[in-house]
Homo-oligomer: A and B are copies of this chain.
């Protein structure tokens, strides 16, 4: 599973970076966690975080972890002007490394 979280920050950003980092650490301890990639573009303010999970249940379990629920609440109240979440089943994947 891939969970694609696309967000636009508001003007208030205090505490955001620490919370985002803490959430990445916490997520990595969850059952079924396969990886996370995150990028925020300073020009557009658009951020994309993609987390990968073994099953949809694993992704849902992470959504419901108490500390994560609290971070989601603060995200809505303080930090995000907009966000969208797409939950998707990965059907194919491939990669390229220059030095392989």
Give the copy number.
Answer: 2
Of B6, B81, B86, B94, the residue contacting A84 (CB under 8 A) is: B94
Query: Per-residue 0/1 for A45-78: is the Cβ within 8 Å of any B Cβ (1 yes, 0 no)?
Result: 0111010100010000000000000000000100
Cα–Cα, bound, A48→B89 (Å)? 18
Nearest B residue to A96, CB-CB: B83
| A interface, CB within 8 angstroms of B | 2, 4, 6, 10, 37-42, 44, 46-48, 50, 52, 56, 76, 80-99
- Tell me whether A39 and B44 are in contact (CB under 8 A): yes
Q: Given contacts A39-B44, A44-B39, is CB(A93)–CB(B98) below 8 Å?
A: no
Q: In the assembled complex, how far is the CB of residue A55 from the closest CB belonging to chain B, in whole angstroms?
A: 12
